[in-house]
Structure 1
Amino acid sequence: MTPRVIIDGCSYNYYRVTASLAWYKYSNPEPPTLQNTDFLTSLMSQYHKHINKISKITGVLPNNMTIVRDCPIEKIWRRKHYPKYKQKRLNRSGISNNVGMFIKHINKHLNMYQKVIRIDEAEADDVIAILVRFYLETTDDDIIIIANDSDYTQLLCWDSSRVKIFNPKKMDWVQRDTYSLSSKISKGDSTDEIPSASNIVEILRNKQLVDLTYVPRYIQDRVLQCLDYSNNIPHYYKPLNFQLGLCCMHTVLCAYTPKVFCSRTAIIQTIEKTGISLITSDKALIKRALCITKKESTPIYWISPEFYNTDENMDIYNILKKHQSEMKEHCMSIVLDRARDNCKDLLKLIKHAAEVDGTRVMRMSSDLFPHKSNSRTPDYSLEQFHELLEEAGNLTRRYKMRLTFHPGQYNVVGTPHKDKFHNTCLDLDWHAEVLDIMGCDQDSTMVVHAGGMYGDKNATIHRWAEQFFQLPDRVQRRLVLENCEKCFNIEDCLKVSELIYESNGLGIPVVFDTHHYDCYNIMHPKDIMKPAIEYMSPVLTTWNRRHMKPLFHISEQREGSRTGAHSDLIKKIPDYLFSIKQPFDLMVEAKFKDLAINKLYTIYPDLSPKIINDIKPIKPIKPIKPIKPIKPIKPIKPIKPIKAIKPIKPIKPIKPIKPIKSLKN
C-alpha cells in the first residue's frame, strides 16, 4: 500500500532556498535577485532533484505528495491571543528580503504536485496534525511527514508504526526519542516567542485565557473542506456551514432495555429514606426523621446526627449516631453509582450519535454528576471518573464532535448575594472541570442565562460584567451568555459582552436563541427590538473575538402552552440563519430531541451530515392497474342425503377348538 507523503512547505522550502543560496555564494559574492534567471532555474532544478530523491526513498511519486504551507505570520490564529507569537520572525528583514522572495518564487511553481494546502489563520504544523489524525482514523495508509521541524515527533505517539518523519536536510528518518518537547515547553522557545512555563501565570494575569495547545474547530473544518470526498469518508467528518446539535438525550437509546441515559439523578429524600431504612425498620421513626429534614431545609450531609440532638428526637439521634458512617457510605454509593452509570452511557451516546446519526454537536446533561455542587450534600471528587471521561473525550476527538453544557438557571453571575454567587462559582467550576478532564477544546462552552434583574437591569448588567472576572479561570474560558424571553434580551447580552471586552479585550460570546428572541417580543411589546438579522453581525463578533465557533439555539412555541414552552418538533429554520457565511452550530431545543433533528434533515436535506455516494434516482412507481371485479360465486347445489347404512349381520360364534391328543411315546 502506497503511503501518504505530507511535506511541511514552510521548513522544507526554507531549507531548499538556504541550501541553494549557500551553493551560489561559493562562486558569486553578490547575492542573487529575482532578475537572475540562471539562479532561479538552478533553484527549481535542485528543488525538483531533491524531491525526486525523497520520492525514491518513500516510494511515492512527487505528483502524489501533498505540500502544506503556512498562512502569513501576522494572521496566525495564536497571535490574536498572544500578540508576540513569532514576532521576531515577522520583523526579521533578512527573511523578507532574501530568502522570503525565493520561497515565494518556489510557491508559485508548485502546480506539479497533487495538492498544495494553505489554510487561513493556520500554520503548516496545525494542518499536518489534523491531516495525520484524519488519515489514521479513516484509512489504513502509512503517513510520512517530510520536515526539518522536530516538533512533529509529538505525532509519533499517536501510532509510531504508521506515522514516520523524514528529515530532508539529514536525509534520514527521525526517531521518537531524539527530541524532548517537554524541555521546549519548560524553557520556552525564543524563535517563536513562546513563554516558558514559569511565565504562564503572567499570561493568565493579563487575561490571555485561551489554551494555545488546541487548534480551533473552525481551523479543523477548513482543513477537512480541502479533502477529496469521493472516497468513503465517514459522515461524521463532513464539514458543513452549520450543524444541528443534540440536547442531552437520545429518544431511540432511551427506548432500549436497559435504556441508555446520562441524566440519572437521585432525589435527596429517596436517598435519605434508603439510608435510614438500612439501619432501622421502624417506619414511624423513619417518617419523623425525613419530615424534620424536609421542613427545616438545612444542610443534611446525609442526615447528620447532631441535627436531631434534642430531647424530643433523642431516639433518632441515638440510632443515627451509632450507624452514621454506615449510612453515609450507603447514601454516597447511590450517588456515585448513578454518576458512573451516566458516564458509561455517555460513551454509548457519543458513539451512537456520531456513527448512526452523524451528530457533531451535543449538549451534555448537568445531571451527569448528581448533587455535585449541592450545598446540602457532601461533595465528591471527579478523580474516580477520570478514566471514563478521558475515554469520552477521545471519542469526541475521533468523531470531531463538539460538546457543550447548559448549567441550570440557579447559576446567576449577576446576583448581588455573595452566597448565591459562591454557589454559582462552585457549580460552573465542576462543569468546566469535566470539559478539561475530557480534553475538550475552547469550542466546548457552558451556556448560561443572565438571571434576574434584582430591581435594576442596568446595575445588574454592570455587576454581571464585574463579577465575571471573579469566576475561576477555567470557567471564564468556557462561559457564554444566552438571551432569554423574560429579563435579558439579546441587546442586554451584547452590552454585557461589550463591557467585558472593554476590560480584557476578549469579551464573552453571546448565544442567540431564536425562540427566546421571538418570545421576548411577545412578552415585552413596548420594547421595540430590531429585526433578528440585524443582530447576526454583532453576535458573530463576540465569537470571532475569542476565535470560537459560534453557537445558536433554535426551538418553536408549543401550541396551547405558556409562552416560551418548547414544541416537540421544529417546522422551519429562520431565514436569517442561512445568511450567515461562516461555520456555526445550531442546538436544536425540541422535546423530541434526535427525532426533531431527523425531521429537519428531511426538510433541509443539505444539512444532513451523512455522505451517500452514487445515489441513483428512484424510478417513479407505475400506477397499479385496477383489479377486475370478482365474478359472483354460483350457489352450491344441496348435498343429497346419504342413504342409511344397512345393519351389519352379527358374526357367528367360533366353535371351540378340540383339545390336541397327547403324543405317544
Structure 2
Amino acid sequence: MTIIRLGYVAMSEHVKNASPSQTMTFAQFSKIADRDAAIRKLERIAASNIHNCLRLLRHNAANDIAFFRLSSRLIPLANHPELKDWNFIRPLKESLDNIKEFLMEHPDMRVDFHPDHFVLLNTPDKETLQVSIKTLRMHEMLLKSMGIDTEHRCVLHVGGGYNDHEQALEQFIHNWGLISPTLQKMIMLENDDTTFTLSEGLYLCEKLGIPLVFDYHHFMVHHHEHESLENDWDRIIKTWNQSQLPPKMHISSPRSERDFRAHADYVDSGQLVQFLDSIKGSVPRLDCMIEAKKKDEALFALIRDLEQYPGIEKIDGGSFYIK
C-alpha cells in the first residue's frame, strides 16, 4: 500500500484573478523615466504575485492539497543584468513573511520550484552557466525568505544535447563541481521528452547523489528500447534515499495521439492507476505533481474519477491509498 499525494502547478482554475506570474518587460521598465518609480512598480507587481501565491496556498489548504509548485516568475526582472543593484528581498519581506507564517502553520505542505528551461547546468558556455547559477541563487533566496528548507526544491532538466549526449552528460558532471554545495542541495533532475532519457538522468543522479523526479509522460514519449520501469523503478527510488522528502514524480496525459508530447487538460485516470498498480508498496508515500492544463480542476477531476477503482481508497480531497 502506498499513499499518493497530488499537487498541481502554480495557477488555479478556481481562484480567480490570482496569477502569481504577472510580469513587466524590460522594455516597459525602460519607458518609465524615473528609475526609482519603475522599481517601485516592479515591487508592486512582485508583491501582488506573492499575495496571489498565498491565496492559492490557502485555497489548497481548504481543499486538502498539500503539494504545490510555486511560480518561478514571482519576481519580474529579478535576474536582469540592468537591475543588479535591486535588492528585491528587502521591500518584499512582509509579503514573503506572510507565506512563511502560512507554511509554518501547515508543516505538511510541500512546495517547490521548476525553474525555466534556460537554466542549463550542462552548458559549455561560461556566461550561460553563470546566468543559470544566478537564477538558482534567486530561487534559493526566495525559499529561505519563505522559511522553506532548500533541500531538493528545484526540479531541472539535464540540459542541451549539443549533438553529443555523452559529452553533454560529462559536461554536466564538470559544471556540477563549479556549483556551490548549497545550490547542489536544492536540485532534483527530471527525465525529459526530447533529449535525455530516464537512464541518462539516472546516470547523473546516481553518480552525483541527486534525486530523480520521474516524469511518466516524458518516459512514454521518449525512452530507449532497453529502458523499462520494471528494471529502473528501484533505481529511481534509491536516488531519494538521502533526502528528507518522499519521492516525487510528474504525471500528465498526452493531448492526443497526433500531439502526444503536449499535455492534455486532464489526467487519464486509467493510465495512472495502471502505473500505480505496478509500483504500489515500493514506497510508503509518493507525491505526484499534475502537469495538466486545467491545473487544480484536473486534480479535483482525477480524485473524483479514482473513486471508481476498487484498489483506491480516498483519504481526503488531495490524497488516496493505492492498495
Question: How does the TM-score come out when normalised to structure 2?
Answer: 0.88
RMSD: 2.0
- Structure 1 residue 556 and structure 2 residue 314: aligned? no
- Does structure 2 conserve the Cα–Cα contact (< 8 Å) formed by 1:425 and 1:472? no
Asked whether 1:432 is paired with 2:140, we answer yes
Q: Secondary structure at the match of 1:470?
A: coil
Q: Distance in 2 between matches of 1:414 and 1:594?
A: 33
Checking the alignment, whether the CA contact within 8 Å between 2:217 and 2:254 is kept in structure 1 is yes
Aligned to 2:218: 516
How far apart in 2 are the matches of 1:491 and 1:415?
20
- Give, in angstroms, the shift of residue 575 of structure 1: 2.6
2:22 aligned with 1:264, yes or no?
A: yes
Q: Residue 462 of structure 1 contacts residue 499 of structure 1 at CA under 8 Å; is this kept in 2?
A: no
Verify: 1:486 aligned to 2:191, yes or no. no
Q: Which amino acid aligns with 1:370?
A: P
- Give the corresponding residue for 2:112: 404
Asked if 1:358 corresponds to 2:60, the answer is no
CA contact (8 A) 2:8 2:289 kept: yes
Distance in 1, matches of 2:42 and 2:259, equals: 34
Matched with 1:650 is none
Secondary structure of the equivalent of 2:15?
A: helix
User: Does structure 1 residue 394 correspond to structure 2 residue 105?
Assistant: no
More helix by share: 1
- Distance change (3 Å), C-alpha of 1:562 and 1:371: farther
Whether 1:341 aligns to 2:48 is yes
**Aligned partner letter, 1:247:** V
How far apart, CA to CA, are the structure 1 residues paired with 2:117 and 2:95?
A: 27
Secondary structure class of the residue paired with 1:383: coil
User: How far has the Cα of 1:397 moved from its partner?
Assistant: 3.0
Task: Tell me if 1:581 matches 2:283.
Answer: yes
Report if the CA contact (8 A) 1:479-1:508 is conserved: yes
CA distance in 1, matches of 2:149, 2:65: 17
Cα deviation, residue 265, structure 1: 1.0
Q: Distance in 1 between matches of 2:173 and 2:297?
A: 38
- In structure 2, the gaps of 5 or more residues are 308-312, 319-323
Structure with bigger strand share is: 2
1:219-618, aligned counterparts within 5 Å?
Answer: 241-254=3-16, 259-273=17-31, 275=32, 326=34, 328-355=35-62, 357-381=63-87, 382-399=89-106, 400-441=108-149, 445-500=153-208, 507-521=209-223, 527-559=224-256, 562-572=259-269, 573-578=272-277, 579=280, 580-605=282-307, 606-610=313-317
Deviations 1:239-290 (A, max 9, x none): x712001200111113xxxx122111112233333x15xxxxxxxxxxxxxx
DSSP-derived class of the 2:240 partner: helix
Query: In the TM superposition, what whole-angstrom CA distance separates every residue of 1:159-185 from its partner, at most 9, and x where no partner exists?
Result: xxxxxxxxxxxxxxxxxxxxxxxxxxx
Q: 1:457 to 1:447 in 2, by over 3 A?
A: same
Work out the CA distance in 1 between the residues paired with 2:7 and 2:177. 29
Kindly tell me: are residues 544 and 251 of structure 1, through their superposed partners in 2, closer, same or farther at Cα, counting changes over 3 Å?
Answer: same
Equivalent AA in structure 2 for residue 491 of structure 1: S
User: Using the alignment, how far apart are the partners of 1:406 and 1:490 within structure 2?
Assistant: 18
* CA distance in structure 2 between the aligned counterparts of 1:447 and 1:379, rounded to whole angstroms: 28
Question: CA shift at 1:394, angstroms?
Answer: 2.4
Q: CA separation in 2, counterparts of 1:376 and 1:528?
A: 47
4+ residue runs over 4 A deviation: 376-379
Q: Any idea what SS the aligned residue of 1:271 has? A: helix
Cα deviation, 1:529-576, whole Å, max 9, x if unaligned, reads 432243221111011133432110001111276442110001221533
| SS in structure 1 at match of 2:222 | helix
Letter in 1 for 2:242: R
Alpha carbons of structure 1 residues 534 and 471: separation in structure 2 relative to 1, 3 Å: same
| Percent identity of paired positions between Structure 1 and Structure 2 | 25
Shift of 1:602: 0.7
CA contact (8 A) 1:262 1:343 kept: yes
How far apart, in 2, do the equivalents of 1:555 and 1:602 lie?
16
Q: What displacement does 1:475 show?
A: 1.6
- Counterpart of 1:410 in structure 2: which amino acid? F
Paired residues for 1:141-290 under 5 Å: 241-254=3-16, 259-273=17-31, 275=32
Identify if the C-alpha distance between structure 1 residues 444 and 542 changes in structure 2 by more than 3 Å, giving closer, same or farther: closer
The code of the aligned residue for 2:92 comes to F
1:331 and 1:487 map into 2 onto residues whose CA distance is 40
Q: Distance in 2 between matches of 1:444 and 1:497?
A: 13
Letter in 2 for 1:482: E
CA offset at residue 589 of structure 1? 0.2
For the Cα contact (< 8 Å) 1:403–1:444, is it kept in 2?
Answer: no
Distance in structure 2 (CA, Å) of the matches to 1:581 and 1:451: 29
Structure 1 Cα separation of the partners of residues 38 and 154 of structure 2? 29
- Inter-partner Cα distance in structure 1 for 2:103 and 2:152: 11
Taking a change above 3 Å as real, the CA distance of residues 253 and 457 of structure 1, as seen in their structure-2 partners, is same
Q: Contact 1:511–1:551 at 8 Å: present in 2 too? A: yes
Q: Give the equivalent residue in structure 2 for 1:191.
A: none
Q: 1:607 to 1:371 in 2, by over 3 A?
A: farther
- How many angstroms apart in 2 are the aligned matches of 1:539 and 1:532? 9
Aligned-pair distance for 1:610?
4.1
When residues 444 and 359 of structure 1 are mapped into structure 2, their CA distance, relative to the original with a 3 A threshold, is: farther
Q: Is the 8 A contact 2:199 2:227 kept in 1?
A: no
* Distance of 2:97 and 2:152 partners within structure 1: 15
CA contact (8 A) 1:429 1:474 kept: no
Q: Could you state the TM-score of these two structures normalised by the residue count of structure 1?
A: 0.44
* Alpha-carbon distance change, 471 to 520 in structure 1, aligned in 2, over 3 angstroms: same
Would the aligned equivalents of 2:140 and 2:183 in 1 still touch at CA under 8 Å? yes
For residue 443 of structure 1, report the CA deviation from its aligned partner: 5.6
Alpha-carbon separation, structure 2, partners of 1:261 and 1:474:
30
